[in-house]
Amino acid sequence: MRHDTIQIMERRSKTLLLLAEGLTASEISKQTHVSIEQVYDDLRCIKKDGHKFIRALGSKNLGYSYHVLITNLFHVNKDLWQITKDNEIMTSDKIRAYKTIVETTNTIKEIFKESINMITIEEMKKRIEDLELISNPDSEHKTHSYIDIKQLPHINSNNESTLIHNTDTNVTNEDNNILQ
């Protein structure tokens, strides 16, 4: 049983590499010596595993993965700078090293942009979860809110946005009109 699992994992890994090289399913089938139906089954499993990987990456491992990736890129740049300073290296190789430095630096910038977006998404997710807890007072996770629920707009039976009038609030008719 374990041997079969290892063979399947190796076949799927090879299938993914061949797919990355731009091969079609029939070409992958010929190179891996399996039926085209098996290739499609493997691709479905690879896709499902990819979704699981992204969810796991996004949940707890994202920061670690970004850290490792950026550290590796910084080390690549460090080695490339050493190449540019070596007098025994040909000028054409130094030019290629400079070009690669620019590419890795741009990649690092893109990673930082993406990580900022991911942080923003995580913060928004947390805020939404907090708002859901606030709006559900019967929840088992009781929370205290600084939001005066009476001040928030509500949808009435005519699908109009209104404010709930209460003697404790200082809502004017003008405030009500703004929300409608």
Q: Which pair of tokens denotes residue 62?
A: 């994202």
Q: With 50 as the cut, is the pLDDT of residue 58 above it? A: yes
pLDDT band at residue 57 using 50, 70 and 90 as cut-offs: low
Round to whole Å and give the CA distance between 94 and 127: 49
The percent of residues in the chain predicted with pLDDT above 70, rounded, is: 66
Contact residues for 85 (Cβ-Cβ < 8 A; gap 6+): none
- Digit-coded pLDDT (tens) for 88-124: 999 999 999 999 999 998 988 888 777 777 667 767 7
Q: With 90 as the cut, is the pLDDT of residue 4 above it? A: no
Q: With 50 as the cut, is the pLDDT of residue 36 above it? A: yes
Decide: helix, strand or coil at residue 139.
Answer: coil
- Nearest-Å Rg of the Cα atoms of the chain is 28
Round to whole Å and give the CA distance between 106 and 102: 6
Closest to 152 (Cα-Cα) out of 176, 116, 173? 176
